Amino acid sequence: MSPSAPDRAEALDLVANTLLGRAARLTRLLMRSGAHKLSRTEVGVLSTLSEGPRRITELAQTEALAQPTVTQLIDKLEGRGLVARTRSGEDARVVLVEVTPAGTEVFEEVRGEIRGNMREALADLPDAELTELVHASQTLGALIETLLPARDA
C-alpha cells in the first residue's frame, strides 16, 4: 500500500529535512569513537579512490570540495605516501590520482574501526529496526548510484 499524496509529501519533506544532517552527525560520532589516522575528508577521498584513479577535478566534484582544497588534500596525502599522481596512459597531459598500497592499508584500518563502532552501536537494536536499516541502506545505495556523476569510459 502506497502512502496517499499528503502522506508522501510529508514523508519527502521529513527525509529531505533530516536525513543529511543525521547521516553527517552519525558519521562524525562514529569517527570520533577512537583515534583515527585519517580525517573524515581523507576517508572520503580514499574511499572514492579505492574505486579507481581519478582526476583532481573529478575528486572535487565527487567530494563536493573546491579544486584547490582537493589539490592541497592530495598534496598532503601524497606526502604521507597514501596516494600517488600518475599520468594517464591514454593522454599524457592528464594527471590521475590513485591510492597506494600504504593508503589502502590505512584506509582499510580506519574503515574497520568505523565499521566496528557501527556494529557496536547497532547491536542492541530490535530486529525490526535493524531490518528497517537494512532496507534504508539498500535504498540509499541506489539513490547514491543515481546521483553519482557519469565517469568517462
The angle that helices 101-122 and 5-32 make with each other, rounded to 10 degrees, is 120
In tens, the pLDDT along 44-75 reads 999 999 999 999 999 999 899 999 999 999 99
CA gap 71, 66 in Å, rounded: 9
Judged against a pLDDT cut of 90, whether residue 108 lies above it is answered with: yes
Q: Which CATH architecture has domain 33-147?
A: Orthogonal Bundle (1.10)
The angle that helices 40-49 and 67-79 make with each other, rounded to 10 degrees, is 90
User: CB within 8 A of 98, min separation 6: which ones?
Assistant: 49, 52, 53, 83, 84, 86
CA gap 122, 127 in Å, rounded: 10
What per-residue confidence (pLDDT) applies to 75? 97
Domain ranges of the chain: 33-147
